[in-house]
């Protein structure tokens, strides 16, 4: 494949060398978002492999944040507009920033689905930073680069756009609105 050729050429390796075989095997076994299983808001296990071939916008959400109303409103509008074209929004509640998601899963679901008409999947409340960070968030942070402190989720509503192959395309600051990501979503859906 193209990666194998590029690695071989840049490192001066032949396809028969042991180093080349190791590099090729590593590339073939890279993790993607589809390798993770998470719990939904109702406590059911969900394999993210069910989203293969979909563009994913993954967001850590909170009910009592200054960014809540605008983000939930725009997320719902984007989902309505693009879900039939292959967009899925995956919302992960987190209470790590100012205690702004203190409710139970049932309360969070009620809030998002009633007040903001959220029809996209909402998952179990998780930690996104620290030693108990959900594995899916450990993956997202490691795949978006940035080094030690830049790997930390900064606040509620940080967003990750993931391509149809399960790889992180871009990471967006909490202050980046869902509508500001629309052009990137369109590019990945094309």
Catalytic annotation on 65?
Answer: yes
Give me the catalytic one of 65, 136, 153, 185.
65
Q: Could you tell me the two tokens for 42? A: 């109702």
In angstroms, rounded to a whole number, what is the distance separating the alpha carbons of residues 113 and 120?
Answer: 9
Q: Could you tell me the two tokens for 9? A: 């050429």
Whether residue 138 contacts residue 33, with contact meaning beta carbons closer than 8 Å, is answered with no
Instruction: Determine which helix (DSSP H) or strand (DSSP E) holds 9, and give its type and residue range.
Output: helix 2-11
In angstroms, rounded to a whole number, what is the distance separating the alpha carbons of residues 130 and 5?
Answer: 38
The residues carrying an active-site annotation are 65
């Amino acid at each position: 494949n193209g990666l194998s050729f590029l690695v071989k050429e840049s490192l001066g390796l032949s396809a028969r060398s042991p180093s080349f075989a190791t590099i090729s095997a590593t590339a073939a076994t890279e993790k993607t978002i589809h390798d993770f299983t998470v719990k939904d808001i109702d406590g059911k296990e969900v394999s993210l492999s069910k989203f293969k071939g979909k563009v994913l916008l993954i967001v850590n959400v909170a009910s009592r944040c200054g960014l809540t109303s605008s983000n939930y409103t725009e997320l719902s509008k984007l989902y309505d507009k693009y879900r039939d074209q292959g967009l899925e929004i995956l919302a992960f509640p987190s209470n790590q920033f100012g205690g702004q998601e203190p409710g139970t899963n049932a309360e969070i679901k009620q809030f998002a689905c009633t007040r903001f008409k959220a029809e996209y999947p909402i998952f179990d409340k998780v930690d996104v930073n620290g030693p108990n960070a959900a594995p899916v968030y450990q993956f997202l942070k490691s795949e978006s680069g940035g080094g030690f402190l830049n790997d930390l989720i900064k606040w509620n509503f940080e967003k990750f756009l993931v391509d149809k192959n399960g790889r992180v395309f871009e990471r967006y600051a909490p202050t980046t609105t869902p509508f500001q990501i629309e052009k990137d979503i369109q590019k990945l859906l094309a």
